[in-house]
Structure formats: C-alpha cells, structure tokens
Chains A and B, each alone.
Chain A
Amino acid sequence: MELSTALKISGGAHGALVLLALVGGIFSGDFDEAMQVTEVSVISGAEFAALVEQSGSGTPSPGAEAESEPEPEPRPEPEPEPDPEPTPEPEPEPDSAPPEAAAPPAVPETAGEVLAPEPGDTPAPAPRVAPRPADRPERDVAVAPEMQEAAEPVPADETSPEPAERQEAEAPEAASTRIVTEATEEGGAEQIALAPAAAPRPRTRPDRPAPSPEPEPEQVARPEPEPEPEPEPEPEPESDPLSDAIAGAVADAVAGGGAAQGDPGPPMTAGERDALRLAVQECWVVDVGSEAANVTVTVGMRMSPDGTVIDGTLQMLEASGGSDAAIQSAFQSARRAILRCQRGGYDLPPEKYAQWEEIEMVFNPEEMRLR
C-alpha cells in the first residue's frame, strides 16, 4: 500500500511536471530568444580592414598611422621655407619670414583640424608620392643590369663552392618551369596511380571497428610506410582480420599488380617510369639545328641500387638517322643528360630494383626537330 501510495504520489508529481512542461511553454519562448542570432556574413581580412578604415573608428593602429602621416606633411613644408630664407637679403624678408616662422609652431594647433580631412581625401600623399616615383625609375635602371649580370657572376663573387651549388639548383628550376605543364600532367598520372592504394585503406577502417578496433590502427600505421611487403605477412598468419587483409591485397593489386612474391618484384608503374623520363629529359640538351637532331639513339646502362649509373656501363646500343659524327654527338648528348641529371641518384623505388637494374633509354628528338 505504501508502495502504491508512493507510486501514486510519484506518478502524480511526474504527470504534473509533464503537463507543466507541455503547457507551461518551457520549450517555446526561451529557445526562440536564444536562437535569435544576427546574420553574419563571412568577409576576408582585407575587407574587414577596408570596413574598419571606412568607419574611421576602427583599430587604433591605422588611426595612429593616419595621424602620424599628416604630421610629417607639414614638416616638408617648413623645409622648403628655410631654403629661401638663407638665400637673399635679410631685411625685406622679415615681413614674409614671420608668418613662415610662425607656421611651424602653429602646426600642432591647426594640425588637428587640417589633418583630419587630409587623410580621408588623401590629397597630401599624392604630392609626396610624386617625387618618389621620380627616384624609383633610377633605382630600377640601376638594378636591372645587376640582375642580369647576377645570373652568372653572382656565384663568382662568392666563395667558389657555393656558386656551384647554386648553379645546379638554378638549372633544374629553369628546366622544370618548362616542363611544368607536362610535369603536372605526369604528376596527375602518378597521383592517379597512387590513388587506389590509398582509397581501399579507408574501407578497412569502417569494417574494423566492428570486430576489433585496437589492433587495426597499428596495422594501418605499418602499411603506410611499407605498402607492398604488407600483403605477404598479413594474409598468411592473420586470418582473423579478413577485411584488412583483403583490403591490403586489393589495394596493392590495384596499385601495382601482383604481390611481390617473385624475384623481379612488382613492375614499374607508369608514374615511376614517367618520373624517370622527366628527370632525364630535363637535362637532355637538343641542338635542333644540328645533324644530330636527326639521330635517334638508344643508350643502355646498369644501375646501382642507389639510383646512379654504374661507371663504365653506359653505352650506345643502337642509333639511326645520321652520319657517324652526328651519331657520336647524339650519344654524347644523351650520355651527358643521363649523367648530369642523376646527381645523387635517380628517384627510383628501391623495392623494384630488379626492374630497373638495367635500363635502356631511347632519345628521339624528332618531335623537337619538327617544331
């Protein structure tokens, strides 16, 4: 009974509370007021600065600048005045001199009134600016020859080892700008090739949370640095996280073909081949007017694992389209391109060394000749 009484009391109290909540308008007015928010539009920093300047009462810093600017303005005025002063007779001048001399002290008094409109109208800056541009052209003219000379002599002026590095750094930049369009295209190809490798991984994540979330992140972290070796260990020992193994295997399969179980390793992707091609052609100097520009030459070489050409292995395998001298010149040009651009070694995937241990490069200048 006591229980039922308590139940009744409790039920009644709760019922009353619910009724109060529904009828009393707890959910109505307060929220509306709280949710009433003024509309806000997103503006850039520049726009904000512009608005602040227009309002005039914005941040103190621009105001201070505006005030400080007008101050120097009166100063230049007194400067020209003193010039006339020293020049001619002292007697006739006193008449005109006093007002001029009085002007400088008056500056602070009148400045407050005069300066206010000036910053807004900005007539004062104009006369200032005018004389300055006159100086600038001279500076530009003086700078131009230095810049032209600087391209080569700059290294000369400095210590010898430094210029060398800079020239090397400059040359590829110049070359790369030319190839930018192609590079971007090729870069896009690389990204496309890499995309599938990254895309499957996200799939594993939604799957994993269901069975076991903790071990997965560790596994996920491993695959990123070493995408290829993963599939080998994972599918065999760990059969539990099926989805993970599937995703890894599929990702690698999509990205580069079969798993690296055979000796030669996975084949070079189109992106990797293009990267090598771009790296070499950046240094391939073609003299389009020469007979050598008619020669297509095939060069063979053996590579060391660090991506450099093994000394003495670079040789001409085939050539067509010109005299012996032209062929020799074409071969030398190709050889210079390969050796010059390798620098510390071409950026080739080390795990695919077996694929690029031997390389044949065909240098075909036909398209360049026809331009």
Chain B
Amino acid sequence: MFVLRFLVATLLSKLGLSGMAILGLVAIWAATPAPAQDGPLRIEITEGVVEPLPFAVPVFVAENAAAEQVARDITRVVAADLVSTGLFREIPAEAHIASVSSFDQSVAYSDWKAINAQALIVGAVSVGSDGRVETRFRLHDVFAGAELGQGLRLGGTTQAWRRIAHKVADQVYGRITGEGGYFDSRVVFVAEEGPKDARRKRLAIMDYDGENVQFLTDDATLVLAPRFSPTGDRVLYTSYETGFPQIYLLDVGTVQRQVLADEAGTMTFSPRFSPDGSRVVYSASRGGNTDLFARALGGGEATRLTSAPSIETAPSFSPDGSQIVFESDRSGTPQLYVMPSTGGEARRISFGPGRYGTPVWSPRGDLIAFTKQASGRFHIGVMRTDGSEERLLTASFLDEGPTWAPNGRVLMFTRQGAGAEARPEIYSVDVSGRNLKRVPTPGSASDPAWSPLLP
C-alpha cells in the first residue's frame, strides 16, 4: 500500500507541476492578441453558378380597352425574347403572389422575393384614338428592393407592337447584363425552295426571332451571301443575274438594287461593308486569281488590298475599321489572316488542324468567329483576334457562315445535315457555346446576316 500511495502521490505532483506549466503557457498565449484580421472580414468568391436568372413579367396593364390584346402580346414577346437568350427564366404567371393592377402602384418586393423572382418587369400599354401604341415599363431588382434604371416610355404604331416589345426586352437585357441587347434587330438570309439539284433562292428579311418574313428578291436568279450595312438599311449580296457572280447593293426600304462594280469579265463576291459604311471590301477573281479589293460606295476605282497567287476571300473589318481579317490558302490550306485595312503584310492567326474560313470580326471587337472543317466535321468557332483561345461552339455535318448579333453575344449560322433530303436551316448559339437552337424560318434558309440594332 505504501508503494501504491507513493506512486500515486508522485504521479499527482508531477501532473500538478506540468499542469501549472501548461496553464501558464496557455495564459500567455491567450493574452497575446489573436492573429488579427485587419479590418473587415474578407472573403473571395471564385465559383458561381451558371443558370438562368428567374424573372417575372406580369401582363402589362392595359390602360384602356383597346390596349388589352396588344398589352398581352407585348408582354409575351418581352418574355420570349428574354427566355430565348438562355440567360433568363420566366416565372409563370400562375406562380405570382402579387398582382399588378396599376403601373404606378408600389411594388411588394417581398411577394416577388418569395417566388424567387430576381427581376420584375412592370409595364402598361395604352392605345390612342389614332392607333398609336404607347408602352411604359419599369424594371425592378427584387432582392435589392429598388428600381433598376429609370422607367421608360416607348411609342409606335399598332403594326410596330413587336418592335416595341423587342425594345422593352432590349432595355431589360441591357440593364441586367450590362450589354446592349439584340432583340430589335433583323436578319437577312437566303430563303431556299425546291430540291437540292434545282434549288431556288431569294433574299428574305425577318425579325431576329423569325417573325415578319419578307422577300427582297424573286427566285429568278441565284443569290448568295447577303450582308447588312452598318445602318441596316442596305444589303450587299452576290447575284448571278448576269450569268456570273457580281455584287449588288439593295435598298431594304425600296427594294431597289444596283450593281456595285460593273467590271467586265470579273467575278466579284464576298462583299462586306466597312464599319462607317463608306467603303466595301470584297473578293474579285481575275484571270483565275482571287484577291481582295476595296471600293468606296460613292464611286471611284477599286483599291487592291492583296496580290498573291493564292485565293484571298471572305474579308471582314474590325469594328474600328483599322484591320481586316480574311481567309487565304497561301500556306496550302485555307487559314485566317489579319492585315491593315489599307492592305499590307498579313499575319496568320489560325494554326490549328483543319481548314478555317468565313471569319467575322465581333462587333465587340474581342473575338473572331469562323467556320472550321476538321476531321470530317464542320464547326462554328471563335478565337481571340490574335488567334489565341480558340473555342469551337458547334459540330455537325455542315455548319458554316457565322454572323454576329449586334452585341457580339450570339452567333447565327447555316446548318445542314447529310443526305439529299437534308435542308439548310439557320441556327443560333451563344458565344459561350450554350443555348444552341434553330431559328424558325418558313422554309429552308441559309446565309444569315444579322443587322445592327435598329434605331
């Protein structure tokens, strides 16, 4: 027992000593200031989610009886525009808790918050005795509990109600994304009919969403590759009216057309406007060699931009007009090159495997879209203007001829499947590669060209 007691006493004393020592250390540690975070707590967030932003758009308030139908129509088009981007998701009206009966009533943000609506569009429509449609709208940031931007009033004829709706949607899109919209724009394209070996083609124009299709030419002659002017009121295109390809200039309003350059024995094609609309750059084939030329719209002689034995074609200006990207097979296969818009030394920017063609400079200026053929498939892709960061957005049997939305955010292009029965159709895709979908057209369609945002 004595031994046991001795052992326990020793153990306790040692424990006590070491315990005191530890306690002292801890006390010193506690006394020293904590590893201070200077100022506020700082958190870095690098991972978000990619998902559509939920919004609510109650039917616009009809301020008089004549406006009831058009108010509903405008509301639907606004919602459809936003949803079509893939960036927004509409919360159906059945889920709405609050109702909007007056344009000026205060917004019950909590009710919209409860259904997780992040944006709320409130509008009102009235139709005057002269048939003039007047639309007002406000955009609310629900979770901030505040209006996003100022309220806006838009007016137009009854026939132009779709444009009014597109403009409302453009405003909403712009205020939320910080970018310009593209809904109030049009697309000129080649409408195709008939079998593959005897296809009739004519120029047509439609709203960006496939509505209001109108034909600009008859199907008597083959037409190709229409291109909008920077103001959207004229179209350049290639026609076989005289038997071989020549460039024509068409006034969209009057449908009057004229030959751009009557150069006997010269095939001219692949035209495109300069950003200021004063010049046209195009390809001309003389004596079996194709080079790039530029010409002022007011008249005068053509300026040669390239002089190589290879084929140079598909020129496209940079938004500032200082450079031209084009396609050339001078290296053996079609590749993309960039040169000053006045001509001069060209710099190759495409180096991946396969063939590159139909480059188009983004209106934003940061990217160049192109068609790529590799491993038996066609792709629509984008790359930086120096050729870096190439990204292929689509892949199919035949994708070609991209054209940019006015805000440089979406691309339209022609897609055609394999086989004799396959018909060309117009597709659109977000520049991120998402939201690929077919653009509704009455029949087969190809060669889309997107207009700028309408005034």
Size of interface on A: residues with Cβ below 8 Å to B? 82
Residues 146-195 (chain A) with a chain B CB within 8 angstroms: 152-153, 155-157, 160-161, 163-165, 167-168, 171, 174-175, 178-179, 182
Q: Mark A273-295, 1 if CB is under 8 A from B, else 0.
A: 10011001111111111111000
CB distance from B441 to the nearest CB of A (A): 25
| Separation of A366 and B47 alpha carbons in the complex (Å) | 9
Question: What DSSP secondary structure best describes chain A's contact surface?
Answer: helix
| Separation of A363 and B43 alpha carbons in the complex (Å) | 9
* B residues near A325, Cβ cutoff 8 Å: 174, 178-179
Contact B49 A284 (CB under 8 A): yes
Judge if B22 is at the interface, Cβ distance under 8 Å. yes
Judge if B244 is at the interface, Cβ distance under 8 Å. no
Judge if B44 is at the interface, Cβ distance under 8 Å. yes
CB distance from A114 to the nearest CB of B (A): 57
Contact A258 B34 (CB under 8 A): yes
Question: Given A290-B177, A366-B46, is A355 in contact with B29 using a C-beta cutoff of 8 Å?
Answer: no
Contact A285 B34 (CB under 8 A): no
Residues 10-55 (chain A) with a chain B CB within 8 angstroms: none
Judge if B395 is at the interface, Cβ distance under 8 Å. no
Residues 17-54 (chain B) with a chain A CB within 8 angstroms: 19-20, 22-23, 26-27, 29-37, 39-51, 53
Contact A288 B41 (CB under 8 A): no
Question: Given A235-B27, A290-B179, is A363 in contact with B45 using a C-beta cutoff of 8 Å?
Answer: yes
* A residues near B364, Cβ cutoff 8 Å: 291
Contact A285 B143 (CB under 8 A): no
Question: Given A161-B97, A339-B144, is A264 in contact with B26 using a C-beta cutoff of 8 Å?
Answer: no
Q: Identify the 8 closest CB pairs spanning chains A and B, nearest first.
A: A329-B178, A156-B94, A358-B40, A289-B432, A284-B48, A164-B114, A286-B48, A242-B19
Contact A165 B114 (CB under 8 A): yes
* A residues near B206, Cβ cutoff 8 Å: none
Q: Mark B426-440, 1 if CB is under 8 A from A, else 0.
A: 000011101000000
Q: List residues of chain A with CB under 8 Å of any chain B CB.
A: 152-153, 155-157, 160-161, 163-165, 167-168, 171, 174-175, 178-179, 182, 207, 231, 235, 242-243, 245-246, 249-250, 253, 257-259, 261-262, 264, 266-268, 273, 276-277, 280-292, 300, 322-323, 325-330, 332, 335-337, 339-340, 355-368
Contact B40 A242 (CB under 8 A): no
Task: For A207, give the chain B residue with the smallest CB separation.
Answer: B15
Contact B178 A242 (CB under 8 A): no
Question: Given A259-B30, A329-B178, is A267 in contact with B50 using a C-beta cutoff of 8 Å?
Answer: no
Contact B42 A289 (CB under 8 A): no
Judge if B352 is at the interface, Cβ distance under 8 Å. no
